[in-house]
Amino acid sequence: MPLLVMKFGGTSVADLARIKNAAKKVQREVERGYDVIVIVSAMSGETNRLVGYVEGTSKLYDAREYDAVVASGENVTAGLMALRLQEMGIPARSWQGWQVPIQTTAQHGSARFVDIPRANIDAKFAEGFKVAVVAGFQGLSPEGRITTLGRGGSDTTAVAFAAAFGAERCDIYTDVDGVYTTDPRVSSKARKLDKIAFEEMLELASLGAKVLQTRSVELAMRYKVRLRVLSSFEDTDETSGTLVCDEEEIMESKVVSGVAFSREEAKITLFTIEDRPGVASAIFGPLADAGVNVDMIVQNISEKDYDDAHPGAVTDMTFSCPINQVDRAKKAMEDAKAAGKIKYDELIIDTDVAKVSVVGIGMRSHTGVAARMFEALSKENVNIKVISTSEIKISVLIDRKYMELAVQALHDVFELDKA
């Protein structure tokens, strides 16, 4: 029997009416002849409520007990979904993470998958059950404790199950009807994509697109799991949504597939650091130890012996990080300076920046993308502070007030509104 994985996010199961609506979508796939594994999130807002309970009880909470509390939201949804399917005459049962058992590492709050044994669920399908409803976002540590995977972990759970069970496809039901060339709330010309390559989706997700969780796309790309992003609130068929797939499935790619952006960025510059082997390690090692996610990095050309107070070669180092990690980054640099690991004259923080990126696998075989991008921004008088590139991406850091203008300009210059 062919197998399908269907994942429903928090807004898709926000109340009993929406759970009923999601169950009808599952019923349709069962009637098409599929066995179905349904992965569910907690009801919308429920995880935040549970986190609030934990933080209200203990500021320095035990991460193991935190996981035990916040994982309960998905358990409730899984049980309610199974009950609804049973009411519709569909043989279904719910599974909590430990019942599968979903085996993970012991990093509570950010666990990673180790294994998903098939035996228990396969046995139930063999008995005639048609649907296994699995609580997303959770697993079991080697010590037998409940673990959680971090925000967006239900997407990752769905992809992991699709890989483990060799599913024909993994359908992600959410509050949007697919992946767009950019956020429609920023550009009215944004166009829904029929297909997008794994690599493009991974870049877009990591650069600020909120449709899919980055780890889920990484997993899908590694195991070649075909993903489809669909709306929970619209009637859908085999052609609906956006298919995230291998590059070979896409007939002809545009040079640029999408424009991503992130408002929550900060730029940090260390002035007059020593220009010597090991200084970069002395800067970015402490930042890594502090849990700072460094993104864009720029080092200036060295200045040689420019005054008596600064003998030898010196330079400046600029990097970006999420705005909510600025305090950690600042403390890490100040502690490293106090410990004598690095020297710098001044640390300047700019929290009024945004990152805008163009992404496309077509960039591998086409020249001039950077020139067109920079010319479009220049025409709008948008100054670029930092630039970083990869094989299929160009990102720039700009003043936040120009972010929407930049997104619209780039969407227009690469004609992303046209199929």
Considering only the C-alpha atoms of the chain, give the largest distance between any 2 of them, rounded to a whole number of Å. 84
Separation of CA 388 from chain center: 20
Question: Is 274 annotated in some ligand binding site?
Answer: no
C-alpha closest to that of 160 among 34, 8, 37: 37
Run of H or E residues at 65:
helix 63-70
Question: Is 402 annotated in some ligand binding site?
Answer: no
Question: Is 8 annotated in some ligand binding site?
Answer: yes
Residue listed under structure tokens 């519709």: 88
- For 354-374, give one letter per residue: b (16+ CB within 10 A) or e: bbbbbbbbbbeeeeebeebbe
Question: Is 258 annotated in some ligand binding site?
Answer: no
Please tell me whether the peptide bond between 91 and the residue prior to it is cis, using omega within 30 degrees of 0.
no
> DSSP for 140-186?
E-TTS-EEE--TTHHHHHHHHHHHHHT-SEEEEEESSSS-BSS-TTT
Question: Is 180 annotated in some ligand binding site?
Answer: yes
Question: Is 380 annotated in some ligand binding site?
Answer: no
Question: Is 210 annotated in some ligand binding site?
Answer: yes
Which of 250-254's residues contact partners 24+ apart within 8 Å by CB, and which partners? 250/195, 250/196, 250/197, 253/197, 253/360, 253/361, 253/362, 254/360, 254/362, 254/414, 254/416
Question: Is 155 annotated in some ligand binding site?
Answer: no
Question: Is 305 annotated in some ligand binding site?
Answer: no
> DSSP for 316-337?
EEEEEEEGGGHHHHHHHHHHHH
Question: Is 374 annotated in some ligand binding site?
Answer: no
Question: Is 175 annotated in some ligand binding site?
Answer: yes
Q: Tell me the pairing of strands 35-40 and 3-8.
A: parallel
Question: Is 211 annotated in some ligand binding site?
Answer: yes
Detail the residues annotated as belonging to a binding site for ATP: 7-10, 174-175, 180, 185, 210-211
Binding residue ranges for substrate = 47, 74
Positions at the binding site:
7-10, 47, 74, 174-175, 180, 185, 210-211
